Amino acid sequence: MSVYLHDIPLSQARARLREALQDANLWRVLGVESIPLDENALGRVTAEPIWAEISSPHYHASAMDGFALRAISTHGAMPSVPVTLYIGPEAQYVDTGDPLPEWANAVIPIENVESLDENDQVTKEIRKPRTIRIRAAVAPWSHVRPLGEDIVATQLVLPAGHSLRPADLGAIAASGHQTIRVALKPKVAILPTGTELVPIGSKLKSGDILEYNSLVLAAQIKQMGGEPTRYPITKDDFDLICERVSEAAQTHDLVLLNAGSSAGAEDFSSKVVEKLGTLLVHGVAVRPGHPVILGTIDKKLGIRDENADKRIPIIGVPGYPVSAALTVDIFVEALIAKWLGRPPLELPTEMATLTRKLVSPAGDDDYVRVAVGKVGDKLLAAPLSRGAGVITSLVQADGLALIPSGVQGMEAGEAVKVHLYRSRAQIEKTIFCIGSHDMTLDLLAQFLAEHDRRLASANVGSQGGLVALRRGEAHMAGSHLLDPNDGSYNISYIRQYMPNIPVKVVALVGRDQGLIVKQGNPKGVKSLEDLSRREVQFVNRQRGAGTRVLLDYHLNLKGMSAESISGYTQEEYTHLGVAAAVASGRADCGLGIAAAAQALDLDFVPLFQERYDLVIPKGFAESELLAPLFDLLTDPVFRNSVSKLTGYDVNVMGRIILED
C-alpha cells in the first residue's frame, strides 16, 4: 500500500485546488457587506471602488490665522512703502479653517500685519483694528486651502481590493461616506484531532501532546483577514471526526483538519475527505508539509448565496507544528486573498549567502528557516533547525530560503533567495553571533533588545564560530577552547583559524563545567572514570565544541580512550540539548554547564571551571552596531542577572583578553 496517493509538485497541487474551486463557483469574492465607518473597519478589504461624494475641503478655507483680502490690493507693498487696508471692504479677519469671503482670494498671516489706531499710530496688538498696514505683497491663493485641494467630488478615493489602513478611514470620511462596502470575512473551521492531544493548561503525563496548533492556525487566519473557529479536540474516531467535519462544513467556508495525514492506524484524514466529498491531493512535493491533503466536501446548505455550489474546500494539515504553519502560509493565504479580493501576500525577497551546506530532497520544494544578518557588505543566511516539530525555529527565523525542486542541495557560500519576515532595517540592526552555545546569550539578547539591537545566534561550536569569523560570516563568536599545551583559552585557536585578522577578545563569564545527571544521580556518576562503566550511557557534544575539546583534554590526561565510553559518538549541539537527552532517558549523563542542569531540574556534578569569551573582529568591535554590547558588559543590572544563573562567575565580565 502506498503512503501517498500522489506526491505531486506544489504548482500542480495548487492548480488542482484552484480548478476544483472554479468548478464549484468558489474562486471569487465570497460576498459583500456594508459596515459602519469606524475603527473596526481597519484591515477590512474594500469590495468595490470608493468614489468621493463631496470635495474636501468643500469651500475655500483659510490655512492660517490672519486677514482675508484681495491679493491685488497688496500690490506694491514693501517694507519702505507699506499699504494700508480698511477692515470690512478691503480685509476681513479669519481663523484657520474659516471660509474666505466670496470677494477674497488670499490670506495674509496675522504675524505679517500691523494694526493701526484712529490716529494712524501702530499698536502693539491687533484688537479689532479699523485699518491694517502690510509691508509685503501676497500672491493670489496664498495661505488658502482651495475647494477640492485634498479630494474632488466624484474622484476615486480607494480601489476595490484594498486593505484599509488608519489613514484610509480618514480619507473615506472626508469624502462624505458613513458606511463602506467590504468583502465578507471567510469563515474557517479548525479541527484538531488525535487521542494523544490535550488542551493547553493540562497537567501532562508521558505520551500527552499539548494541542496548540489550532491556536497558531487561528492566529494566522485572523491575520490574513479570515474569521477562525477553533473546535475542541476530537479523538481518533473515524465516525466522530466525520460528524465534526460535516457539522463545521455547514457554517464555514473552509475546514482545516489538523492531523497526521500519512497512512497509519489512527490516521483518518484522507478517508474522511473521501467519505464526505472528493480527495484532490494526498501528498505534495514540499518540505516541511509533505503529507498535505487537499479536497472538497459536500454541504447541505448554501454558503453565501443560492448560486454557489454546495461544496467547500477542506485541507488536511500535517500534525507537526512547523509543517502545519507553513501549510497554511503556502495554501490558505492565496485562497483567503482570492475570497477577499485582495492581492496575495508577497514577502520581500533578498539574495543572501548561505553560511553552511544544505542537503535537500531533489524532488521537493524545500523551505528552509534561516536567521539573516548583514555582516560587512554581505547579507548572510544561517540555516536553523529543520525539524518539522521545532516551532521555535519559526520564532527565531528571519525568513525562508527556498531550495527549488530539482536542486539536491547548496554549498556554503552559495547565493540563495530568501523570503524575509523582517524588514531590511531590522536586519541591519542584527548582531550575528555564530559559535559556542551559552545560556547567557539569551539574557544578552533580551537586554540588547532594549537598546534597539537584535542578537541572532547559531550554535555550531567554538571552532565553527572562529571559522565563520574568518569567512566574514558573523560579527562575533562565543568560544571556550582550551589549549592542552598551556591550559589557556582561545588565543592559540584564534591564531590558527584567524591568522592576520585583528580581533578583540572580551571575557563574558567564568562558568562551571561538569556532569549533568538525573535527579538523585541513580548511576552514581561522580567522575570521568565512571563514564567507562558498561551500564553508563553518555551523550557528547559535537566535534569542534569547546566542551568536546575540554572532555578530550581530560580524557587524554587520564589515559582514557573514547572507545571506552558508551555514547561518545552520540552528539548534541547545545548544553540544553545534552540536558534534554538526560532528562528524557536517552542518556544517563553528559558534560555541560550547571545552568543547563538547573533548567531541566537535573543534578550536577561539578568538575572543571572555564572561561567563555566573545571573539570579535576589530572592525566590528569598533562599530556603532556593537556599541550597546560593550555598554552591557559593565551594566550592573545585566551582570546581576547573569550572576543569578547557577554556575556562573561575572567577575571576569568585560575583561579584555586580547586586542590587536
Q: For 19-56, what is each residue's pLDDT tens digit? A: 999 999 999 999 999 999 999 999 999 999 999 999 99
- The per-residue pLDDT for range 301-314, each reduced to its tens digit, is 444 444 445 789 99
CB hemisphere CA count around 440 (13 angstroms): 31
Lowest mean pLDDT, pick from 256-265, 447-456, 593-602? 256-265
pLDDT of residue 3: 42
468's CB contacts (< 8 A; 6+ apart) are: 355, 434, 435, 460, 474, 477
For the beta carbon of residue 595, count every other beta carbon within 10 angstroms: 22
- The per-residue pLDDT for range 229-250, each reduced to its tens digit, is 999 999 988 999 999 999 999 9
Q: Which segments of 488-532 are extended strands (E)? A: 503-517
H/E run at residue 278: strand 277-282
Rounded to a whole number of angstroms, the CA Rg of the chain reads 34
pLDDT of residue 610: 92
Read off the amino acid at residue 134. Answer: I
- pLDDT beyond 50 at 107: yes
Mean pLDDT calculated for residue range 108-114: 93
First to last CA, the chain: 66
- Separation CA 234–CA 259 (nearest Å): 10
- pLDDT beyond 50 at 607: yes
Q: Would you place residue 128 in the very low, low, confident or very high pLDDT band (cuts 50, 70, 90)?
A: low
Find out whether the peptide bond into 89 is cis, omega within 30 degrees of 0: no
- Separation CA 336–CA 186 (nearest Å): 7
Q: Would you place residue 601 in the very low, low, confident or very high pLDDT band (cuts 50, 70, 90)?
A: very high
Residue % of the chain over a pLDDT of 90 = 72
Give pTM, 2 decimals. Answer: 0.81
- Separation CA 548–CA 564 (nearest Å): 16
- Separation CA 595–CA 614 (nearest Å): 19
Range 485-494 contact pairs with CB under 8 angstroms and sequence separation of 24 or more: 489/610, 489/611, 489/613, 489/657, 490/462, 490/613, 490/615, 490/657, 490/658, 491/657, 491/658, 493/462, 493/463, 493/466, 494/466, 494/615, 494/658
Distances (CA, A) of 30 to 14, 21, 24: 19, 12, 12
Q: What are phi and psi of 489, to 5 degrees?
A: -115, 130
Domains of the chain: 10-30+185-340 (3.40.980.10), 32-57+149-183 (3.90.105.10), 61-145 (2.170.190.11), 351-421 (2.40.340.10), 440-659 (3.40.190.290)
| Angle value at C-alpha 459, between 457 and 464, nearest 5 degrees | 110
pLDDT of residue 437: 85
Grouping H, G, I as helix, E, B as strand and the rest as coil, residue 438 is: coil
pLDDT of residue 391: 73
Lowest mean pLDDT, pick from 267-271, 351-355, 376-380, 532-536? 267-271
pLDDT of residue 387: 65
- C-alpha cell read off for 224: 490574513
Q: Would you place residue 608 in the very low, low, confident or very high pLDDT band (cuts 50, 70, 90)?
A: very high
**Residue burial 501-531, b: 16+ Cβ < 10 Å; e: rest:** bebbbbbbbbbbbbbbbbeebeeebeebebb
Which residue bears the cell 491685488?
A: 72
Read off the amino acid at residue 490. Answer: N
- pLDDT beyond 50 at 123: no
| Residue (of 401, 410, 438, 448) closest to 547 by Cα position | 438
Count of positions (residues) in the chain? 660
Mean pLDDT calculated for residue range 647-654: 94
Chain mean pLDDT for the chain: 90
pLDDT of residue 226: 97
Distances (CA, A) of 621 to 86, 450, 474, 502, 505: 70, 20, 12, 10, 9
pLDDT of residue 540: 97
- Separation CA 237–CA 224 (nearest Å): 31
Q: Would you place residue 362 in the very low, low, confident or very high pLDDT band (cuts 50, 70, 90)?
A: confident
Strands 415-420 and 349-354: antiparallel
CB hemisphere CA count around 290 (13 angstroms): 13
For the beta carbon of residue 84, count every other beta carbon within 10 angstroms: 14
pLDDT of residue 408: 80
- The per-residue pLDDT for range 428-458, each reduced to its tens digit, is 999 999 898 888 998 999 999 999 999 988 7
Q: Give the residue, 658 or 117, on which the prediction is more confident.
A: 658
pLDDT of residue 388: 57
- pLDDT beyond 80 at 122: no
- The per-residue pLDDT for range 188-220, each reduced to its tens digit, is 999 999 888 999 999 988 888 899 999 999 999
Grouping H, G, I as helix, E, B as strand and the rest as coil, residue 652 is: coil
Mean pLDDT calculated for residue range 577-593: 95
Find out whether the peptide bond into 348 is cis, omega within 30 degrees of 0: no
Read off the amino acid at residue 112. Answer: N
- The per-residue pLDDT for range 141-177, each reduced to its tens digit, is 999 999 999 899 999 999 999 999 999 999 999 999 9
- Separation CA 620–CA 623 (nearest Å): 5
pLDDT of residue 263: 45
- pLDDT beyond 90 at 537: yes
- The per-residue pLDDT for range 372-421, each reduced to its tens digit, is 989 998 899 988 877 655 677 788 889 999 888 888 888 888 999 999 99
